[in-house]
Chains A and B, each alone.
Chain A
């Protein structure tokens, strides 16, 4: 439409239109400020963290950082050369130097080293611990949560009982994670006497994520059309047969993808595992146990707790920064990967299942 001959209903450029436009711009800016803040956090950690995790030579990934246990870092100057070494390497080096000095008939020079805990080596035990915690707690949460959702959506008739259960789920979702930590500590660690263990962590995390899983599963079950159930029942199938053959298969992808968000939450929480499952440092890997039952009753190192430890208990400087950013990067990467899978899968499924 040419501006010289406007339609009579076209908005006239005027004070009101300008005001509207500027107010819309305020809303737009608010949105993009949020996104910018989010991406700034991401960007900062990705850029600084990738320096630790990636390297320029083959195999391009810092395998020492990913696949070894944390060690103390020693920084020292020896014979004019500044060196940085992990705990084991440092000891070997010191012995070799002393032997060399003695063989040359000198008094071995004392090596004065500045040490930083956890700043050398890697985070392998933490990665393993986090994976174990997530797998175990999600198994518990999924089996409990899906069953609850099936009951609420398929069997239960609306009434005070079901309303009560829904109320409980809603309230459980609002309980702070540290309270779950206290509860897990009081019940599993002390009352049941499980001590700081995988099992205690699993149950604490599973209960925390339960509302998310139940709500997600119910949504997925609700999305299956009534006709599927009615058709199956009309053919003479029992209720359970109907659920198993005509409802669950179609709801399962939805249940799983939405529950992945729950996984991201489980993996990301620190407060509940602080006193139930996480150790600051542990030399053995979880599978170095004597009997099977020991496996369940051992504490593990976990990525989120390790980040807490390295960012609060050791000073900030160029040496410690590497491990701090590296751990945060790996952790953020894992969580972001999980969350991204869930979001992408969900968008995909929405398109595929349209009844």
Chain B
């Protein structure tokens, strides 16, 4: 187009508006910035959570190393090397006792003998097992004596440390004279430990004596006529041989033990991540290993998910594919309603009703064929798992139902047009098409379960130990403790800044990382395997 040559000067707009500017922003821009800033709160909160968990928890590793260093320097580790021998022996005697229990059961139940007769049959066995368990005495005496010595060294050291802190505090307050008056007794580990390490020949002697006694006992091990019992007895003998073979190794480790060997920081880290003991406020040595708690959390989640996946996904399929419109309108709000039950109420229900009910159920004679019945503990992994299932079901249901809903109508219609039945369409078309959504629903349900606190705190039984997995399925009837439970239970009681306090924050960090990981995987699955609708 030709430009108009004789154009006049451009006229100003009829409506002229001056915009007020504040810091170079118009009102609209200010509002936008304000809203944008609010949107960033989510990011900031997430960053702050990470920051504070790390800030409070990170020092755990240095503190834990210090604690482990004292454990070594005060000779506690040395004594524990000896103690291991004693504890293994206790485990063996427990095995022997278990065999005896089985034999009694065999005699009274299968052969119908009265208890007195059954006991009479085992007199020889009892005598032998008595000798077996008494053989440890010389080693045990030594260990208990040295335990006191090592404890004393550790106490001396802690007192010295406390005094040092006291002096530093006094100096901070400017009380120089009082500070000078605080006497700090330095602990010379080398001389103190000489008492401990000096007992090595004694230990060797006791150990040899003990090994000799056991070896002499082994050939005279009592025999059973029953094949099963005899097999267990043979296994016992084999285990004892194995135990005896380990003796030189113990002595070697004691000989090469060096109290000055430094403990690497990595050891403190692995001690937490792979540690099999969570032991606090003990007179001997505190251990902060997350494994028992982690295993507890996993076990409870496993129970919950085995129940919740079939129920939640099944209900979602039913409501979405099979139910009538009226049933749908009725069921969906009801399940949402279940989601609204507060977890602490469910926990209370577990204590007041479910735990007792499960135990009562397990005491029925007719049900004794189920392994682990009757249940010994009212509150255990099973009780908590059942209740957690009720928490996971609504989550799984809602998300799975959404996923099923997102399958295009055309898919189903095409399937019907080909003459497939409803069941065939559901199994072969709808479920595969929505599988990614269902899997991520299950994962998010898992996230919900592993992060749940009140139910496990109230109903899981709170015993901090790795459950005995040799017990088979009955392991689920044992009480456990969980990561969420331990934080809730112990956070209120710990001293701020102590190693225990920091350990709890580390457990929180582990939980946080697990939650993020589950979320990440769930999103990845949804995005990766989403069917293209077109």
Interface residues of chain A, those whose CB is within 8 Å of chain B, are: 11, 16-17, 19-20, 23-24, 26-28, 30-31, 33-35, 37-38, 41-42, 44-45, 144, 147-148, 150-152, 154-156, 164-165, 168-183, 185-187, 190-191, 207, 210-211, 214, 238-240, 261, 264, 267-271, 274-275, 304-305, 307-308, 311-312, 316, 321, 324-325, 328, 331-332, 335-336, 338-340, 343, 347
B482-506: contact bitstring with A at CB < 8 Å (1 yes, 0 no)? 0010011001100010000000110
What 4 pairs across the A-B complex have the smallest Cβ distances? A176-B451, A268-B342, A30-B314, A147-B38
Chain A residues with CB under 8 Å of B40's CB are: 165
Assembly CA distance A179 to B43 (angstroms): 16
- A155's partner among B35, B314, B512 (CB-CB below 8 A) is B35
Nearest to B451 among chain A residues (CB) is A176
B70 at the binding interface (Cβ < 8 Å): no
Instruction: Collect the chain B residues with CB atoms within 8 Å of residue A151's CB.
Output: 32, 35-36, 38-39
Set of chain A residues within 8 Å of B52, measured between Cβ atoms: 182-183, 186-187, 191
Asked if residues A28 and B450 are in contact (CB atoms below 8 Å), the reply is no
Shortest A337–chain B CB gap in Å is 10
Check: B345 CB closer than 8 A to any chain A CB: yes
Q: How many A-B contacts at CB < 8 Å in the complex?
A: 258
B388: Cβ under 8 A from any A Cβ? no
Task: Quote the shortest CB–CB distance from B131 to chain A (angstroms).
Answer: 45
Flag if B39 contacts A176 (CB, 8 Å): no
Contacts of B56 in A (CB 8 A): 182, 186, 190
Contacts of A336 in B (CB 8 A): 337, 340
The answer on a CB contact under 8 Å between B46 and A172 is yes
Of the listed stretches B173-181, B260-268, B515-523, chain A binds B515-523
Please pick, from A152, A271, A331, A338, the residue contacting B453 in the complex, using a CB distance under 8 A.
A271
Contact of B45 (CB < 8 Å), options: A28, A207, A274, A328: A207
Please give the number of chain B residues whose Cβ is less than 8 angstroms from any Cβ of chain A in the complex. 83
Interface contact A239-B32, CB-CB below 8 Å:
yes
**What secondary structure prevails in chain A residues at the interface with B?**
helix
Q: Considering the complex, give the chain B residue whose CB is closest to the CB of A338.
A: B340
Question: Which of A37, A180, A270, A321 lies in contact with B343, CB distance below 8 A?
Answer: A270
Task: Please state if A183 and B343 are interface contacts (CB–CB under 8 Å).
Answer: no
**Contacts A155-B32, A178-B451, A187-B52 given; does A268 touch B351 at CB 8 Å:** no
Residues of A within 8 A of B492 (CB): 274-275
CA A171 – CA B513 in complex, angstroms? 11
19 residue pairs of the A-B complex, CB under 8 angstroms, read A30-B311, A34-B311, A34-B312, A34-B315, A38-B335, A38-B341, A151-B35, A165-B42, A175-B49, A182-B52, A182-B508, A186-B505, A268-B341, A307-B345, A308-B454, A311-B351, A321-B352, A343-B336, A343-B337
The smallest C-beta distance from A262 to any residue of chain B, in angstroms, reads 11
**Residues of B with C-beta under 8 A to A164:** 43
Highest count of chain A CB atoms <10 Å: which of B49, B338, B505? B49
Distance in angstroms from A106 CB to nearest chain B CB is: 44
A interface footprint on B455-466 (CB within 8 Å = 1, 0 otherwise): 001100000000
Please give the distance in Å from B138's CB to the nearest CB on chain A.
Answer: 46
In the bound complex, what is the Cα–Cα distance between A151 and B40 (angstroms)? 10
Q: Is B141 positioned at the interface, with any CB of A under 8 Å from its CB?
A: no
A109 to B45, CA, bound (A): 62
Contact across chains for B511 and A239 when beta carbons are under 8 A apart? no
Of B344, B422, B484, B491, the residue contacting A275 (CB under 8 A) is B491
- CB-CB under 8 A from B53, the residues of chain A are 179, 182-183, 186
**Contact residues in A for B471 (Cβ distance below 8 Å):** none
- Indicate if the CB atoms of A182 and B36 lie closer than 8 Å: no
Chain B neighbourhood of A172, CB < 8 A: 42, 45-46
Q: Which of B113-121, B162-170, B316-324, B358-366 binds A?
A: B316-324
* Shortest Cβ gap from A339 to chain B (Å): 4
CB nearest to A151 among chain B residues: B35
Closest to B454 in A: A270
Given contacts A175-B512, A182-B53, 5 further A-B pairs with CB under 8 A are A147-B39, A148-B41, A174-B447, A176-B452, A211-B42
Contact call A312/B458, Cβ cutoff below 8 A? yes
- Looking across the interface, which residue of chain B has its beta carbon closest to that of A321? B352
- Asked whether any CB of chain A lies closer than 8 Å to the CB of B259, the reply is no
Given A177-B453, A270-B454, A271-B453, the answer on whether A28 and B322 have CB atoms closer than 8 Å is yes
Q: A16-B421, A182-B487, A307-B345 are in contact. Are A152 and B454 (CB under 8 A)?
A: no
The B interface, classified by DSSP as helix, strand, loop or mixed, is helix
Give the chain A neighbours of B348 by CB distance below 8 A: 307, 311, 324, 328
Separation of A170 and B336 alpha carbons in the complex (Å): 20
Question: Which residues of chain A are near B322, meaning CB under 8 Å?
Answer: 24, 27-28
Complex CA–CA separation, A246 to B346 (angstroms): 44
Would B42 and A27 count as touching, CB distance under 8 A? no
Interface string of B509-534 (1 = CB under 8 A from A): 00110011011100100000000000
**CB proximity of A126 to chain B, nearest CB, Å:** 12
> Which B-chain residue is minimally distant from A214 (CB atoms)?
B42
- B333 interfacial contact with A, CB 8 Å: yes
Taking a contact as CB atoms under 8 Å apart, the answer to whether A240 and B27 are in contact is yes
Q: B349 at the A/B interface (Cβ < 8 Å)?
A: yes
Most chain B beta-carbon neighbours within 10 Å: one of A148, A174, A183, A307: A174
Q: In whole angstroms, how far apart are the Cα atoms of A275 and B489 in the complex? A: 11
Chain B residues with CB below 8 A from A340, complex form: 337
Chain A residues within an 8 Å CB radius of B453: 176-178, 270-271
For window 33-64 of chain B, which residues contact chain A by CB distance below 8 Å?
34-36, 38-43, 45-46, 48-49, 52-53, 55-56
The answer to whether A210 and B423 touch across the interface, beta carbons within 8 angstroms, is no
Contact A174 B518 (CB under 8 A): yes
Give residues of chain B (143-172) contacting chain A, Cβ–Cβ below 8 Å: none
Distance of A8 Cα from B390 Cα, bound (Å): 46
Asked if A20 contacts B43 (CB within 8 A), the reply is no
A268 touches B340 (CB 8 A): yes
Residue of B nearest to A154 (CB): B35
Contacting residues, chain B, for A304 (C-beta < 8 A): 342, 344, 454
Residue among A207, A316, A335 with max Cβ neighbours from chain B (10 Å): A207
Residues of B within 8 A of A210 (CB): 41-42, 45
Given contacts A38-B335, A144-B41, A174-B515, contact A179 B318 (CB under 8 A): no
> Would you list which residues of chain B between 296 and 354 have a CB under 8 Å from chain A?
310-312, 314-315, 317-319, 322-323, 331, 333-338, 340-349, 351-353
The chain A residue with its CB closest to the CB of B339 is A339
Given known contacts A176-B452, A186-B55, A271-B454, is B345 in contact with A152 (CB within 8 Å)?
Answer: no
Identify the closest chain A residue to B452 (Cβ).
A176
Chain B's closest residue to A264 (CB) is B340
Chain B, Cβ-Cβ closest to A306? B344
CA distance A190 to B516 in the complex (A): 25
B45 CB, nearest partner CB in chain A, Å:
5
Contact A311-B458, Cβ < 8 Å, known A239-B28, A304-B344, A343-B336: yes
A20 and B425 alpha carbons, distance in the complex (Å): 11
Measured CB to CB, the closest approach of chain A to B167, in angstroms, equals 26
B41 and A174 contact, CB distance less than 8 A = no
Query: Does B393 lie at the interface of the complex (its beta carbon under 8 Å from any beta carbon of A)?
Result: yes
Q: Is the CB–CB distance between A316 and B49 below 8 Å?
A: no
B31 CB within 8 Å of chain A: yes
Q: Does B444 sit within 8 A of A, measured CB to CB?
A: yes
Q: Which residues of A contact B317 (CB under 8 A)?
A: 27
| Residue from the set B32, B337, B344 with the largest chain A CB neighbour count within 10 Å | B344
Assuming A182-B505, A191-B52, is B38 touching A148 (CB within 8 A)?
A: yes
Instruction: Give A347's nearest chain B residue, CB to CB.
Output: B333
Measured in the bound complex, the distance between the Cα atoms of B352 and A321 in whole Å is: 9
Choice from A179, A186, A187, A264 contacting B515 with Cβ under 8 Å? A179
Question: How many Å from the CB of A291 to the closest CB on chain B?
Answer: 27
Say whether B342 contacts A270, CB under 8 Å: yes
Q: For B333, give its contact among A178, A207, A343 (CB under 8 Å).
A: A343
Contacts of B421 in A (CB 8 A): 11, 16-17, 20
Residues of B within 8 A of A211 (CB): 42
Which chain B residues numbered 426 to 452 have a C-beta less than 8 Å away from chain A?
444, 447, 450-452
In the assembled complex, which residues on chain B have CB atoms less than 8 Å from the CB atom of A34?
Answer: 311-312, 315, 335, 338, 390, 393, 397
